Amino acid sequence: MAAYILRRLLLMIPTILGIMLISFVIVQFAPGGPVERVLAQLQGQNTAMSRVTGGGGDLAGRGAAPGGGGESNSRYRGAQGLDPAFIKRLEQQFGFDKPAPERFLKMLWDYARFDFGKSYFRDVSVLQLIREKLPVSISLGLWMTLISYAISIPLGIRKAVRDGSPFDVWTSGVVIVGYAIPGFLFAILLIVLFAGGSFLQIFPLRGLTSEGWSQFPPWQKVTDYLWHITLPIIAMAIGAFATSTLLTKNSFLDEIRKQYVLTARMKGLSERQVLYGHVFRNAMLIVVAGFPGAFISAFFAGSLLIETIFSLDGLGLLSFESIVNRDYPVVFANLYIFSLLGLVVNLISDLTYSWIDPRIDFEARAA
């Protein structure tokens, strides 16, 4: 197993390189960029040049850029009428005066040391930005995954055991309706019903904690946190809950109908012994396989709309705003971190296979 883990870790290196290279190349051909964004602000808002190149630290001294344009001045929209020397200084500040291969290699060297530089348009390091947003995303992703699996696995097993019964029929209806409702629409419905929209005002509408949370006693901190996170988690879990429930049921049904289950019953084993002693570890493999995707989706992309609706400032919202604003250090740092996280979680998933069913030997199969 150690050799298999080592091979998987080594394979992460070219995978990460490929992801970053493809993303970097795409950015080179994408319209717009941080330089054009600054020029548009200058032309549209009549901002003084001195504010861009000096004082405030908003745009000066950003070092080498991980991605972006690097075009000549004539290709910059909004550059007409501006001093070419000023455009050149902007390119130097963003690092676009260097060739693209040199910028890419520097980005890889910096990222290998987890040095992500500073945000273009916020006077703060990228790592500090990510640390500030991380609690929200961890809360949404972790709670949503745990709750959806804690409910859907027992429910899916029960539906498989009672397949075709009235219980299976009406719970299937509930599950299908839950799957059909988009999470953001359900979030709006929850706000209307329980967050002061038109009816009750039981839950808060904004943030992860109340103002002055750090001064609360421990028990009040916990209750306040749960009070704030209830509606977002319910809105996110509804779709994942439906998917994992049906996945669990179908997986168990497939195993229950196999010959080894009939043999176990003929030996006089109870239904509980058959179900949890023989069927469970085989049926759960496909459910475990879906865990990395569910977790990463909830942790990153899946939480974007929920973060926006409930005013939760997490990594999903940060990444979206960074893409819109062409804040490439933040964009590439998030891409790098979540790609690495996804690869690690997939490795953990494979190791979980072996823990659930010791008969699975990835090292022997690779040989």
- Indicate if the pLDDT at residue 50 is higher than 70: no
- Indicate if the pLDDT at residue 58 is higher than 50: no
Within 10 Å of residue 150's Cβ, how many Cβ atoms?
Answer: 12
> 197 or 342: whose pLDDT is higher?
342
What pLDDT does residue 18 have? 93
DSSP labels, 242-278:
HHHHHHHHHHHHHHHTSHHHHHHHHTT--HHHHIIII
Within 10 Å of residue 363's Cβ, how many Cβ atoms?
Answer: 13
Structure tokens at 18: 């490929």
Per DSSP, the three-state class of 201 is: strand
Within 10 Å of residue 186's Cβ, how many Cβ atoms?
Answer: 19
Best CA proximity match to 236, nearest among 173, 302, 281, 293: 302
- Indicate if the pLDDT at residue 162 is higher than 80: yes
% of the chain at pLDDT higher than 70: 80
Label residue 273 by pLDDT band (50, 70, 90): confident
Domain 127-324: CATH superfamily is: MetI-like (1.10.3720.10)
What pLDDT does residue 137 have? 81
Label residue 17 by pLDDT band (50, 70, 90): very high
Mean pLDDT, the chain, as a whole number?
78
C-alpha–C-alpha distance, residues 357 and 115, integer Å: 40
H-helix or E-strand spanning residue 140: helix 126-161
What pLDDT does residue 349 have? 75
> 245 or 358: whose pLDDT is higher?
245
- Indicate if the pLDDT at residue 186 is higher than 60: yes
What pLDDT does residue 300 have? 60
Angle at 156 between CA 154 and CA 161, to 5 degrees: 95
Label residue 105 by pLDDT band (50, 70, 90): very high
| pTM for this model (two decimals) | 0.71
Instruction: Give me the residue spans of the domains in the chain.
Output: 2-121, 127-324
What pLDDT does residue 241 have? 78
% of the chain at pLDDT higher than 90: 7
Angle at 111 between CA 109 and CA 114, to 5 degrees: 125
Label residue 197 by pLDDT band (50, 70, 90): low
Distances (CA, A) of 310 to 182, 221, 273: 15, 19, 45
C-alpha–C-alpha distance, residues 271 and 266, integer Å: 11
244 Cβ neighbours under 8 A, 6+ residues apart: 148, 149, 152, 153, 156, 287, 290, 294
Label residue 344 by pLDDT band (50, 70, 90): confident
What pLDDT does residue 72 have? 42
- Indicate if the pLDDT at residue 225 is higher than 80: yes
- Indicate if the pLDDT at residue 52 is higher than 50: no
> Mean per-residue pLDDT for 256-284?
82
- Indicate if the pLDDT at residue 83 is higher than 70: no
- Indicate if the pLDDT at residue 173 is higher than 70: yes
C-alpha–C-alpha distance, residues 264 and 362, integer Å: 27
Least confidently predicted of 68-77, 230-239, 293-302: 68-77
Q: What is the pLDDT of residues 201-212, one digit of tens each?
A: 888 877 788 888
> Mean per-residue pLDDT for 187-206?
82
Label residue 251 by pLDDT band (50, 70, 90): confident
Q: Which of 84-98, 108-122, 274-288, 300-314 is modeled with the greatest confidence?
A: 108-122
Tell me, rounded to whole angstroms, the distance of Cα 4 from its chain centroid.
27
What pLDDT does residue 14 have? 93
Label residue 56 by pLDDT band (50, 70, 90): very low
Label residue 184 by pLDDT band (50, 70, 90): confident
- Indicate if the pLDDT at residue 346 is higher than 50: yes
Label residue 109 by pLDDT band (50, 70, 90): very high
What pLDDT does residue 268 have? 82
C-alpha–C-alpha distance, residues 151 and 361, integer Å: 30
